Amino acid sequence: MSGYADGFEIPALTMNESLTAMAVKRPDEKALSYYGKDLSYTELQAKIDTCARALVASGVREGDVLALGLPNIPAAVIVFYAANRLGCICNMIHPLSPPRLVGKHLTETDSSFLFIADMAVNKLRPLLEELKGSPKIKDIIICGMADEAPAWKQPFFKLQLRKNKAEKDLLAGTTSWKTFLKKAESVRVTPARSKDHKSVCAYLHSGGTTSEPKTIMLSDYNFNAIAYQANQLLGYPLSAPVPSGKSMITVLPLFHGFGLCIGMHTCLINDIKVYLLPRFSAKAVADLFKHRQANYICGVPTLYEALSKAEAMQNTDLSCLEAAFCGGDSLTPELKDRFDKFLADHGSKSKLREGYGLTETVTVCSVMPDKYSDRNGIGLPLSNIRMKIINSESRETLPANEIGEICVSGPTTMLGYLNDETATSHAIVTHEDGLDWVETGDIGYQDEEAFFHFKGRLKRTLKVSGIPVFPKEIEELISGLPQVRYVAAIGIPHPYKMTVVKVFVVAHEGADPEELEQDIIRLCKSSLIAHAVPQEIEFRDSLPQTLVGKIDVKLLEAEEAARQTKVEKQSAVSGQ
């Protein structure tokens, strides 16, 4: 079922055309802000036009793939919409990716241009040396963190760059952002795009935290299917006029569907000013609330955990905050309750609203409606989107409160995985109802009131003595202890049970590990089936995170596998 208003027509526009339409309606409204330097819609459109002409002058043609390895800086927004205007495909790459991974993303997508930030030059040194001699990459454009920043901020970026300064010979053969834009002078008019709004416009890369990473093909139509229902996401009627003067703190990275679609595109086509933050800083977020009265924020659970603990936020008035959304990873009931109290204590009437989505559907598929924001769970499907819970083997739709695989169908469904038809056919399956469903690999249930709940990854389901055990259930339980800050549960080998549970715990400062371990075991024994009770508990100062801020369960599993292998080798040697 779909919980939001169904039936609205998604405009047959490209992403750039959607932005242009808003620029025509609200030319003088502020669209972007970067450390206090604002750009109106008219100014942003002018910069996009200049960039588009510079791309044409550089030899870019419709259908070309442009790789954007950029943080949340104005250049990332400008290049994205300029490329979209020309009918190019944007290959969104994490700006801190290692050289090997960037090279892989460039090769598999057949990218011909690369945009990177000056801060990443040293890190990508081996790759840049290789690319400068490659006929496939026509140009490497270096975008300065200071390029579009206000005058007061530029010295800070330049000082940081000097600490990490690249030699001139490394930068030889690349093009600076300013030099690149000057090329626009030789082109007066950009060619019209012939590709329609349902063709590929972006490549996003799945995180690969629990499965093999893949390159996901998305269209303008996919993005707009979400972006044009921002009103009801924010609690307004879908048919209501777009309000003006609202703003979003965009700290979620633009290389990720959540940041790109919600933090950038949805905001810009709905006259919501985007405060770009290239890196998370609790002080920077606090300043945007204090001095700019920002209205909205989106983040992953670790962001809200950090904000609630940050000294900079303690005396911050949050009465301006109208909506806070959480996605990208599981939000525990304990963190939601704690952050909701934090919001109330700081003057905000909003509550943290959890959503659910995956890159195969751009980003969010469901979110808790505003009027139910006191509830736990991932809410109701967005307009035009259907969700259901199935038995993964029979594909039978399950009744309320039965745990199964989450499936999603609707206009946000990806075009497929790049160069992988087999994987695409496994992910998008036509069911008996004749609809194409994304079989997400996530498990959850729908309660008797139709609200959906996320329980974890299907591939994270453990079998302990043949009995299914859900790591997320264990993590949620343990995270409810006041001494626990972060927790992750994995399966480890066992001689006759095959697999048992191990948990990694980051405790709050001052907690006694021995007492906390006893509390964890006591709680788990009283609340879980015996098979789910952890057999090992390891305390750490921190847990590894993925590039988007999720706890990296895959890395923990790899570390544990390596440790087990080492132990087995030592045992073999000692036994000889």
Residues 78 and 151 in one domain: yes
pLDDT of residue 164: 61
pLDDT of residue 362: 97
Residues 190 and 62 in one domain: yes
As a whole number of angstroms, the distance between CA 495 and CA 164 comes to: 50
Residues 422 and 566 in one domain: no
512: CATH: 3.30.300.30
Number of folded domains that form the chain: 3
pLDDT of residue 125: 87
pLDDT one digit per residue (tens) for the chain, 576 residues: 456 767 799 999 999 999 999 999 999 999 999 999 999 999 999 999 999 999 999 999 999 999 999 999 999 999 999 999 999 999 999 898 889 889 999 999 999 999 999 999 988 988 998 998 788 999 999 999 999 999 988 888 887 777 666 556 667 789 999 999 999 999 999 999 999 999 999 999 985 434 567 999 999 999 999 999 999 899 888 888 888 899 999 999 999 999 999 999 999 999 999 999 999 999 999 999 999 999 999 998 889 989 999 999 999 999 999 999 999 877 889 999 999 999 999 999 999 999 999 999 999 999 999 999 999 999 999 999 999 999 999 999 999 999 999 999 999 999 999 999 999 999 999 999 999 999 999 999 999 999 999 988 777 778 787 677 889 889 999 999 999 999 999 999 887 577 899 999 999 999 999 999 999 999 999 888 888 999 999 999 999 988 777 899 989 999 998 888 887 777 666 665
| Closest-CA residue to 126 (of 105, 143, 101) | 101
The phi, psi pair for 572, rounded to 5°, reads -65, -40
Residues 421 and 548 in one domain: no
The phi, psi pair for 380, rounded to 5°, reads -125, 150
190: CATH: 3.40.50.980
Asked, for residue 81, whether it belongs to a domain, the answer is: yes
* 520-527 long-range Cβ contacts below 8 angstroms, 24+ apart: 520/478, 520/481, 520/484, 523/477, 523/478, 523/481, 524/474, 524/477, 524/478, 527/477
Residues 444 and 558 in one domain: no
Residue 448 belongs to domain spanning: 385-457
CA atoms within a 13 Å half-sphere pointing along the CA-CB vector of 385 = 27
Asked, for residue 307, whether it belongs to a domain, the answer is: no
Residues 442 and 469 in one domain: no
Asked, for residue 130, whether it belongs to a domain, the answer is: yes
Asked, for residue 413, whether it belongs to a domain, the answer is: yes
As a whole number of angstroms, the distance between CA 19 and CA 21 comes to: 5
Taking residue 470's Cβ as centre, other Cβ atoms within 10 Å add up to 19
Residues 191 and 43 in one domain: yes
400: CATH: 2.30.38.10
Can you read off the two tokens belonging to residue 15? 């992403």
Can you read off the two tokens belonging to residue 287? 């300043």
Residues 395 and 542 in one domain: no
Of 148, 178, 195, the one marking the end of a domain is 195
Of 430, 457, 484, the one marking the end of a domain is 457
CA atoms within a 13 Å half-sphere pointing along the CA-CB vector of 174 = 27
Asked, for residue 530, whether it belongs to a domain, the answer is: yes
Can you read off the two tokens belonging to residue 172? 């030889």
Contact 244, 271 (CB under 8 A): yes
Contact 201, 96 (CB under 8 A): no
Residues 425 and 569 in one domain: no
As a whole number of angstroms, the distance between CA 50 and CA 87 comes to: 16
Asked, for residue 218, whether it belongs to a domain, the answer is: no
CA atoms within a 13 Å half-sphere pointing along the CA-CB vector of 276 = 27
pLDDT of residue 208: 41
Could you identify the residue written with the tokens 């972060």? 486
| Closest-CA residue to 502 (of 543, 479, 471, 465) | 471
Residues 67 and 140 in one domain: yes
CA angle 566, 560, 565 (to 5 degrees): 25
Helix (H) or strand (E) holding 180: helix 177-182
DSSP letters along 306-332, please?
HHHH-GGGTT---TT--EEEE-SSPPP
pLDDT of residue 169: 62
Contact 47, 78 (CB under 8 A): yes
Q: In 195-276, which ranges are E strands?
A: 200-205, 215-219, 246-250, 272-276
The contacts of residue 330 (CB under 8 Å, 6+ apart) are 301, 454, 456, 472, 475, 476
Q: How far is CA 549 from the centre of its chain?
A: 9
Of 428, 457, 486, the one marking the end of a domain is 457
pLDDT of residue 170: 65
Residues 190 and 81 in one domain: yes
Burial tier of 107 (Cβ tally within 10 Å: 0-12, 13-18, 19+): exposed
Distances, alpha carbon 504 to alpha carbons 282, 488, 544, in Å:
26, 5, 11
Q: In 495-559, which ranges are E strands?
A: 498-507, 536-539
Phi-psi region of 281 (alpha: psi -120 to 50; beta: other; left: phi over 0): beta
Can you read off the two tokens belonging to residue 81? 């919409």
The contacts of residue 259 (CB under 8 Å, 6+ apart) are 72, 250, 252, 253, 298
Three-class SS of residue 161?
A: helix
Residues 77 and 176 in one domain: yes
Asked, for residue 478, whether it belongs to a domain, the answer is: yes
Asked, for residue 141, whether it belongs to a domain, the answer is: yes
Q: Convert 383-412 to b/e letters by CB count within 10 Å (16 or more is b).
A: bbbbbbbbeeeeeebbeeeebbbbbbbbbb
